[in-house]
């Protein structure tokens, strides 16, 4: 099992020192990857429903700090040596694809090939409107963006002509160190499963009960079969709360005692998950979350095959 951890780039106490200390300690503990979530800003009131809570509410209180996900990974690339750097997930419709491609290539170059490109199409229409970005056909637009990334990252003289985006032959250097850059696709729709089969190196589920994740993984396999994609080249990842005190929904968490955590992880493994991204929940701010991660990587992770 590979372990990822959500980096402390959001909260009431985000800072340079907390990011450096958390990322470097995670690396020392043997954590595989560090991850950022993507929001820029959103209206004080909105109607869109958050898909990962039971009542559709978005658990982001007023005054919550939220550093830019791309900038955060660039920063963490400079203070770590081995930690892979991922998005859970980067919302493609919020951004212009060529500029985004340059930022992603920069992360991969300065980190010497540690980028994981987690992608999604988003859920908050009002945030896209604040950013001045179109919300219609966002799935098709996202697919074109992924095609553009492939073109810019691999072609010597890239150009693109699509339904929503186009550009003439350009010079785009340097290319990412990795070829290809691994794409991990998030989402819970049939379109997301098709996107995974077409572009993905992993399907990245988040905060869902295991029976739902298992069914989504089945649908991903169906989409792979439909296009002749070898499923062996695709991994399954799941984001879960790391919740020692069991304050979150247990169906979305790894919580309780070390034995309880090992039991939960065993059930996660049974459905085919090979990477778990833990999102620590603990008192004490960043220090408390880091302590929870340290105890997990010391006492629980070594018991998992």
Look at residue 293 in the predicted model and tell me its pLDDT: 98
Max Cα–Cα distance, the chain, nearest Å: 58
Domain range for 132 is 2-303
Look at residue 268 in the predicted model and tell me its pLDDT: 98
Residues 27-85 pLDDT 10s? 999 999 999 999 999 999 999 999 999 899 998 888 899 999 999 999 999 999 999 99
Look at residue 217 in the predicted model and tell me its pLDDT: 98
Give the Cβ contact number of residue 67 at 10 Å: 17
Look at residue 4 in the predicted model and tell me its pLDDT: 99
How many domains are there within the chain? 1
Look at residue 61 in the predicted model and tell me its pLDDT: 87
- What is the domain-level CATH number for residue 182? 3.20.20.30
pTM exceeding the 0.95 threshold for the entire prediction: yes
Residues 107-132 pLDDT 10s? 999 999 999 999 999 999 999 999 99
3-state secondary structure of 96: coil
Q: Which helix (H) or strand (E) holds 72?
A: helix 69-79
CA distance 59 to 207: 13
Look at residue 54 in the predicted model and tell me its pLDDT: 86
Q: Which residue has the tokens 């079969």?
A: 225
Look at residue 305 in the predicted model and tell me its pLDDT: 77
3-state secondary structure of 128: helix
| In the chain, % of residues over pLDDT 70 | 100
CA distance 203 to 116: 12
Nearest to 102 by CA among 171, 164, 33, 156: 171
Give the Cα-Cα-Cα angle 22, 24, 25 (nearest 5 degrees).
Answer: 65
Low-confidence ranges of the chain (pLDDT < 50): none
């Amino acid at each position: 099992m590979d372990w990822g951890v959500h980096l402390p780039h959001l909260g009431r106490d985000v800072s340079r020192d907390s990011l450096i200390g958390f990322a470097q300690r995670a690396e020392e503990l043997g954590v595989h990857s560090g991850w950022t979530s993507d929001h820029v800003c959103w209206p004080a009131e909105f109607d869109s429903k958050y898909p990962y809570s039971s009542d559709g509410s978005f658990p982001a209180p007023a005054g919550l700090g939220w550093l830019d996900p791309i900038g955060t990974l660039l920063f963490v690339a400079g203070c770590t040596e081995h930690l892979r750097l991922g998005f859970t997930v980067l919302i493609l419709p919020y951004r212009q694809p060529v500029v985004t491609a340059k930022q992603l290539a920069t992360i991969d170059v300065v980190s010497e090939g540690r980028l994981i490109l987690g992608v999604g199409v988003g859920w908050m229409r009002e945030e896209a409107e604040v950013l001045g970005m179109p919300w219609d056909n966002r799935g098709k637009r996202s697919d074109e963006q992924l095609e553009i990334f492939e073109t810019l990252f691999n072609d010597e003289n890239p150009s693109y002509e699509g339904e929503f985006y186009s550009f003439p032959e350009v010079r785009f250097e340097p290319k990412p160190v990795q070829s290809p850059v691994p794409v991990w696709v998030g989402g819970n729709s049939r379109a997301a499963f098709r996107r995974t089969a077409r572009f993905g190196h992993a399907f990245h589920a988040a905060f869902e009960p295991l029976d739902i994740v298992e069914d989504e993984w089945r649908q991903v396999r169906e989409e792979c079969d439909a296009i002749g994609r070898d499923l062996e080249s695709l991994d399954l990842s799941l984001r879960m709360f790391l919740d020692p005190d069991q304050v979150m929904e247990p169906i979305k968490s790894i919580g309780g005692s070390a034995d309880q955590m090992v039991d939960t992880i065993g059930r996660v493994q049974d459905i085919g998950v090979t990477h778990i991204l833990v999102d620590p929940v603990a008192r004490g701010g960043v220090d408390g979350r880091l302590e929870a991660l340290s105890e997990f990587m010391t006492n629980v992770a070594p018991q998992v095959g």
